[in-house]
Structure 1
Amino acid sequence: MVSGLAACYVVNNGGTAAWSSSSSSWKTSTTAPRAPPPRLVAFRRRRMTTMNMIATGATCISRRESSSTTAEVLRSLDGWAESNLLPLLKPVESSWQPHDLLPDSASPGFRDAVDELRARAREIPDDYYVCLVGNMVTEEALPTYHAALNSFVGYDCPSRGDAWARWSRGWTAEENRHGDLLNRYLYLSGRVDVRRVEQTIHHLIGSGMRLAADKCPFRGFIYTAFQERATAISHGNTARRAGALGDACLARICGAIAGDEKRHEAAYTRVVAELFARAPDAAVRALEYMMRERILMPAYYMFDGRDPDLFRHYAAVAQRLGVYTTADYADLVRFFVHRWGVADLGPGLTAEGRRAQDYVCRLPERVSKMEQREDARRRRQEPCRVPFSWVFGRQVELQL
């Protein structure tokens, strides 16, 4: 949007042109722009290094892939998507909304209900809220995910009526409730620094995501299937933990989101299974590529303006609490290799496809061994405490 462009500055021959929000006009200054803080420089350097690695890998692999072939296969699934994908979306009238799970602001008892919510929230430790905020920030970067999905399916018109376009809009509409619900809950709870959380969301949407799909629907749907299952696990575990901590209302909030994620996981898992059935060689090579790249959470580039290693620290807290762990990732790999029948692919594979099949079939055991070694390493480490701006700079225990 234009308002976003107005927040930038450009350097002209006469100096630095900057937008003045107070006078709503351009002004010219001959002073050099202030250097960004070291934490921001460190974060940007890490992000650009990763992006360059992804771009290089995607360019190499794209030389072996025919984009027209993958697009043709996807187009052949239009009728299949109509009958197998769209039924997994729920009608608006029968769908839950954030209002259903939070105090009703129009009710005379609204303040009392909020007081009860805040009283329950006070009993929940900071490390749980770090995980909950991380989940919410991930959900709030929905514009990035919507754009990525549209790049997979070649969808570029808001009024298109084919099955893929309708799925993209319907899926986005269901996902949109997740960030809204968690955001409103956290605002009412009083347990987090809302402005710092909002800055983290702002940074994440501006930074994009680590996605090696390169507009390839095979890779893109594989990535999305993994991510939907991972987020279902994460939200499901925060629901169970909230219940164990005595907050049944928060457990219902997280559980409702987990339920959506399970349906979406089923949808994308079906898509990839059908791609394996129709184009097994391209599908197994895409899976091998995504596994070699290693699928990371969409919030890999989260940044709060202070901690350049925020995602790593958040992930360590989630690991320690059992919200999402390296063992969960190993289980994901094992589940999808079995679900998509990779070991049973027939003799129609190319030599490259057979090499990819062999790599992928051996992967679950390798990932499990890596997870065991990583777990043993963590057990040898002394826990440390790291401050999180999300909980007003209070320190939270984790193991790196």
Structure 2
Amino acid sequence: MTTAIPRPTGRAAWSDSQLLYALEEVVETELNRHLHVAKEWMPHEYVPWSDARNFDGIMGGDAWALEQSKVTPVGRVALVVNLLTEDNLPSYHHEIASLFGRDGAWGTWVHRWTAEEGRHGIVMRDYLLASRAVDPVELERFRMSHMSEGFQSDNAHSMLHSVAYVAFQELATRISHRNTGHESGDPVCDRMLARIATDENLHMVFYRNLLGKAFELAPDQTMCAVRDVVVDFRMPGHGIPGFERAAAQMAIGGIYNLRIHHDDVLQPVLRYLKVLDISALGPDGLKAQEELGMFMGGLNEQATRFDERREALLARRAARGR
């Protein structure tokens, strides 16, 4: 018989163990909802196998060349970043399994999430190699370098920080995949990434709803965690070789930038949960809420300045191209 973990009284802080126990019921509810709405799909059905042929090396095929790629330059950059991000799945699994546990509803969710994320890496790599979208040698060297470094979350302060982070990160990943497909110039790539994005959206909904329940249980702690995550947010692929240059190209290419981050990732989650309207907060929660609001205002101003610089840059490029 499982012994119930006592809840804190008054405004006493919740421990990770207390929150894990208190949230188990909503995890089970969200897990069942996810399993009901998630559709089975097969990675091999999204790969253009008829386009594939042997590469050079022991198979004696053709070496990769840039002109073989059907995707746009910014599409190639984003596809590599997106796949290498997925490649660090073993590290992500270790992080969330260590925080959330491997038993009960939490454990079932952790393993299900890992299996679904693994499918994303499978289909993306198969597509890239079959279609010769990117240099396979460079891709493998980047993978080895990136995975050798592993991954450690910037937001490992608490279980609440982790839940808050993935609520935003899953949506950010969905947006990045979807925009990459749109900008790729290849309908096959667009269809594949749209399917991946559907999964990522379901993952976001799971964590967003969990975060909403956490606000009900521990509003001050959850507000502080959201403030910390939003202010210091970085995508999990930030350790990829050459990430800063790739991120700049993706920002200019309209795949992921400050405006998208503000409008399409942070704001939707904050609005859905009514984070900036939550009342009955203690001093720490009120301070975190105020700082979060100020940060979002400043981020919007930064995004506006970025938009202006981006438009000017694109105009200059267009003028040189005429």
Q: What TM-score does the superposition give when structure 1 sets the normalisation length? A: 0.67
The residue matched to 2:211 in structure 1 has which SS? helix
Q: In 2, are the aligned partners of 1:89 and 1:171 still within 8 Å (CA)?
A: no
The residue matched to 2:15 in structure 1 has which SS? helix
Please, which moves more after superposition, 249-258 or 367-376?
367-376
Could you give the per-residue CA deviations for residues 118-153 of structure 1, whole angstroms, max 9, x where no partner exists?
9x9644333311111111111111111111212331
2:190 to 251, 257, 260: 251
* Corresponding position of 2:26: 80
Could you give the per-residue CA deviations for residues 154-211 of structure 1, whole angstroms, max 9, x where no partner exists?
x1x5xx3x00000000010011011111111111122322122122122222223362
Residues 90 and 99 from structure 1, CA distance in 2 versus in 1: closer, same or farther, beyond 3 angstroms? farther
Looking at structure 2, the residues matched to 284 and 221 of structure 1 have their Cα atoms a distance apart, in angstroms, of 12
Map of 1:311-326 to 2, 5 A cutoff?
A: 311-326=243-258
1:274 to 182, 198, 213: 213
Looking at structure 1, the residues matched to 247 and 255 of structure 2 have their Cα atoms a distance apart, in angstroms, of 9
Q: CA deviation at 1:113?
A: 4.6
Looking at structure 2, the residues matched to 220 and 356 of structure 1 have their Cα atoms a distance apart, in angstroms, of 17
Q: CA deviation at 1:382?
A: 9.4
Q: In 1, are the aligned partners of 2:91 and 2:152 still within 8 Å (CA)?
A: no
Structure 2 spans left out of the alignment, 5+ residues: 1-11, 54-63, 318-322
Could you give the per-residue CA deviations for residues 323-351 of structure 1, whole angstroms, max 9, x where no partner exists?
1111111122222222222233222x221
Looking at structure 1, the residues matched to 194 and 310 of structure 2 have their Cα atoms a distance apart, in angstroms, of 29
Residues 369 and 333 from structure 1, CA distance in 2 versus in 1: closer, same or farther, beyond 3 angstroms? same
The residue matched to 2:153 in structure 1 has which SS? coil
Looking at structure 1, the residues matched to 313 and 46 of structure 2 have their Cα atoms a distance apart, in angstroms, of 40
Q: In 2, are the aligned partners of 1:210 and 1:300 still within 8 Å (CA)?
A: no
Query: What is the aligned residue count?
Result: 293
* Corresponding position of 1:355: 287
Q: In 1, are the aligned partners of 2:87 and 2:121 still within 8 Å (CA)?
A: yes
Structure 1 spans left out of the alignment, 5+ residues: 1-64, 104-109, 304-309, 386-400
1:97 to 17, 29, 42: 42
* Corresponding position of 1:365: 297
2:94 to 147, 167, 173: 147
2:279 to 343, 346, 359: 346
- 1:301 paired with 2:239, answer yes
Residues 97 and 357 from structure 1, CA distance in 2 versus in 1: closer, same or farther, beyond 3 angstroms? same
The residue matched to 2:155 in structure 1 has which SS? coil
1:374 to 300, 306, 313: 306
- 1:138 paired with 2:70, answer no
RMSD: 2.7
What fraction of aligned residue pairs are identical, expressed as a percent?
28
Q: In 1, are the aligned partners of 2:52 and 2:129 still within 8 Å (CA)?
A: no
Looking at structure 2, the residues matched to 346 and 100 of structure 1 have their Cα atoms a distance apart, in angstroms, of 49
Residues 327 and 180 from structure 1, CA distance in 2 versus in 1: closer, same or farther, beyond 3 angstroms? same
Looking at structure 2, the residues matched to 185 and 359 of structure 1 have their Cα atoms a distance apart, in angstroms, of 43
The residue type equivalent to 1:337 in the other structure is L
Q: In 2, are the aligned partners of 1:210 and 1:296 still within 8 Å (CA)?
A: no
Residues 86 and 234 from structure 1, CA distance in 2 versus in 1: closer, same or farther, beyond 3 angstroms? same
The residue type equivalent to 1:183 in the other structure is R
Looking at structure 2, the residues matched to 84 and 91 of structure 1 have their Cα atoms a distance apart, in angstroms, of 11
Residues 345 and 382 from structure 1, CA distance in 2 versus in 1: closer, same or farther, beyond 3 angstroms? closer
Q: CA deviation at 1:380?
A: 6.2
Could you give the per-residue CA deviations for residues 343-390 of structure 1, whole angstroms, max 9, x where no partner exists?
33222x2212111111112332221001122334456669999xxxxx
* Corresponding position of 2:173: 231
- 1:124 paired with 2:62, answer no
Q: CA deviation at 1:78?
A: 1.1
* Corresponding position of 1:20: none
